[in-house]
Amino acid sequence: MDLLEYQGKEFFASFGIPTSEGTAVTDVDAAVVAADAVGYPVVVKAQVHVGGRGKAGGVKLANDADEVRLHAGNILGLDIKGHIVRTVWVEHASDIATEYYASFTLDRSAKKHLGMLSAQGGVEIEAVAESDPDAIAKIWIDPVDGLSEQTCRDWVAAAKLDPASADDVVALLLKLYTAYTEGDADLCEVNPLIITTAGKAHALDAKVTLDANAEYRHEGWDVYAATQLRDEREEAAHAKGLNYVGLDGSVGIIANGAGLAMSTLDVVNQVGGSAANFLDIGGGANADVMAGALEIINRDPRVKSIFINIFGGITRGEEVAKGILEALERVEITSPIVIRLDGTNATEGRAMLEPHLSDMLQSQPTMLDAARRAVELAGGRS
Ligand code: GDP
Ligand code: MN
């Protein structure tokens, strides 16, 4: 779950990390009120789930109410890499002496936390990694050991940060590590981590990804969930309780079981097509679930054919067939469907489908045949 900058800063502040005071607003008048409250100069910052806002004109300094009006007016409604700005964060502007980069994330292959620190902050870290990889000091932290103050101090020295502000940076990094671990984050990035002209370390930006699996442990996370950007299709599927992920291809997929759904995507790919989605309807394939799944897929303009891949286990073939037929009575389908029904009582199930087969509802004996047919109907590779 990705947080907006202002939510990330609230998250940081709750762990004692210094951030600037500010307010999130959604219109120009409120931006002026917020600016008056924190005191000029202020920074007006677009709140979207993408980086590089500064370059895109989404971060502006304002010295008075008129400038706030101008900048907030320009930024609200701005399109930043396909994200329309609906909220701006107005904070008291900082006086910057130096811009650093700091982050903690998970290195899954190393089974450790990865800390990255650089004296070259402010710019995109990918650019630094490319042009001057030695400018990024990395440490791998065993989650059992944690990050000691001494290790942190050595790390700051290795990154060649200004020794004069080392104490303050170490204190901030230790808090950031606590926020990252105790806060159940997958990523905590501060770019830039600034040293103010008064010599204080301060988080000027916040990029935080929380581990959605830990949501049950954090009551306050509801507000973050509410501002999540979801694919419209995923939103609708989520509301129906379906395990759905939107993709870019043209073959709509319905399968029972996550493993089978994954294999279905692979097979569709293998025969030259591409899936419009991942959708696992779980163990049962009753009419309600099937109708819900078909509705979601049918609504997707990318979809040119639908591949229903069911392997009957505990759910018998007749129940699956009944579910599909009932669902088809409820939903007006606009793309041809190819069904592969196998497993327990598949023969009985297929026999039930038989009288209903047409150009719009086809049956194939194997997963491979069905995938080929569905891809053909979708017009081949998309
Ligand atoms: P990003 O472009 O999306 O990463 O947005 P940032 O929050 O990192 O802001 C981009 C840049 O704007 C920073 O690297 C700073 O150089 C500048 N900036 C942001 N806030 C302030 C501020 O309070 N004072 C000053 N002087 N510059 C700021
Ligand atoms: Mn930034």
Query: Residue 101 Cα, ligand 1 centroid: separation in angstroms?
Result: 12
Number of domains in the chain: 3
> pLDDT above 70 covers what percent of the chain?
99
Residue 191 CA: nearest ligand 1 atom is 8
Give the pLDDT band (50/70/90) at residue 241: confident
Q: Are residues 79 and 135 in the same domain?
A: no
Task: Specify the 3-state DSSP secondary structure of 48.
Answer: coil
Of 63, 92, 121, the residue that ends a domain is: 92
Is the link from the previous residue into 301 a cis peptide, with omega within 30 of 0? Answer: no
Q: Are residues 344 and 210 in the same domain?
A: no
Q: What per-residue confidence (pLDDT) applies to 355?
A: 97
Q: What is the pLDDT of residues 89-142, one digit of tens each?
A: 999 999 999 999 999 999 989 999 999 999 999 988 999 999 999 999 999 999
Q: Is the pLDDT of residue 283 over 80?
A: no
**Range 297-311 average pLDDT:** 94
Q: Are residues 354 and 252 in the same domain?
A: yes
Q: Are residues 137 and 239 in the same domain?
A: no
Q: Residues 6 or more apart from 354 whose CB is under 8 A from it? A: 363
Cα angle 129-121-176, degrees, rounded to a multiple of 5: 100
Cα-Cα end-to-end distance for the chain? 30
Q: What per-residue confidence (pLDDT) applies to 102?
A: 98
Q: What per-residue confidence (pLDDT) applies to 76?
A: 97
Of 92, 119, 154, the residue that ends a domain is: 92
Q: Is the pLDDT of residue 55 over 60?
A: yes
Out of 21-30, 38-47, 217-226, 367-376, which region has the weakest mean confidence (pLDDT)?
217-226
Number of C-beta neighbours around residue 115 at 10 A: 25
Query: Residue 74 Cα, ligand 2 centroid: separation in angstroms?
Result: 20
CA distance 191 to 174: 16
The question of whether 189 is a catalytic residue gets the answer yes
Residue 13 inside a domain? The answer is no
Residue 227 inside a domain? The answer is no
Task: Specify the 3-state DSSP secondary structure of 42.
Answer: strand
CATH number at residue 25: 3.30.1490.20
Give the pLDDT band (50/70/90) at residue 358: very high
Q: What is the pLDDT of residues 248-264, one digit of tens each?
A: 999 999 999 999 999 99
Q: What is the DSSP letter of 310?
A: E
CA distance 194 to 197: 9
* Residue for token pair 């979809």: 303
**Range 335-340 average pLDDT:** 96
Number of C-beta neighbours around residue 156 at 10 A: 23
Q: What per-residue confidence (pLDDT) applies to 16?
A: 98
Burial zone of 213 (CB within 10 Å; 0-12 exposed, 13-18 middle, 19+ buried):
exposed
Domain with 359 in it: 232-377
Residue 4 inside a domain? The answer is no
Q: Are residues 111 and 212 in the same domain?
A: yes
Q: What is the pLDDT of residues 159-174, one digit of tens each?
A: 999 999 999 999 999 9
Give the pLDDT band (50/70/90) at residue 382: very low
Residue 312 inside a domain? The answer is yes
Q: Are residues 81 and 148 in the same domain?
A: no
Residue 298 inside a domain? The answer is yes
Q: Is the pLDDT of residue 228 over 90?
A: no
Residues 314, 290: contact at Cβ < 8 Å? no
Residue 170 inside a domain? The answer is yes
Q: What is the DSSP letter of 116?
A: E
Q: Is the pLDDT of residue 29 over 50?
A: yes
Q: Is the pLDDT of residue 314 over 90?
A: no
Comparing 193 with 234, which gets the higher pLDDT?
A: 193
Q: Are residues 131 and 249 in the same domain?
A: no
CA distance 218 to 221: 6
Out of 21-25, 38-42, 322-326, which region has the weakest mean confidence (pLDDT)?
322-326
Give the pLDDT band (50/70/90) at residue 381: low
What is the average pLDDT value for the chain, to the nearest integer?
94
**What distances in angstroms separate CA 53 from CA 27, 90, 124, one per listed residue?**
18, 14, 11
CATH number at residue 280: 3.40.50.261
Q: What per-residue confidence (pLDDT) applies to 238?
A: 83
Residue 254 inside a domain? The answer is yes
Query: Which of 10-42 are b and which e, b meaning 16 or more Cβ less than 10 Å from the residue's Cβ?
Result: bbbbebebbbbebbbbeebeebbebbeebeebb
What ligand has the least distance to the C-alpha of 45?
1
Residues 252, 276: contact at Cβ < 8 Å? yes
What ligand has the least distance to the C-alpha of 42?
1
Q: Where are the alpha helices (DSSP H) in the chain?
A: 5-13, 28-38, 65-75, 125-131, 149-158, 166-182, 222-226, 232-239, 258-270, 287-298, 317-330, 346-353, 367-377
Of 69, 92, 115, the residue that ends a domain is: 92
**For ligand 1, which residues put their CB under 6 angstroms from it?**
43, 45, 51-54, 59, 93-94, 96, 99, 122, 191-192, 204-205
Q: Are residues 73 and 118 in the same domain?
A: no
Q: Are residues 137 and 238 in the same domain?
A: no
Q: Residues 6 or more apart from 10 whose CB is under 8 A from it? A: none
* Residue for token pair 């395990």: 243
Categorise residue 160: left if φ over 0, alpha if ψ from -120 to 50, beta otherwise: left
Q: Are residues 281 and 337 in the same domain?
A: yes
Q: Are residues 216 and 249 in the same domain?
A: no
Q: What per-residue confidence (pLDDT) applies to 239?
A: 85
Q: Are residues 218 and 338 in the same domain?
A: no
Q: What per-residue confidence (pLDDT) applies to 229?
A: 73
Residue 338 inside a domain? The answer is yes
> pLDDT above 90 covers what percent of the chain?
81
Residue closest via CA to ligand 1's atom 8 equals: 205
Residue 56 CA: nearest ligand 1 atom is 2
Q: What is the pLDDT of residues 182-208, one digit of tens each?
A: 999 999 999 999 999 999 999 999 999
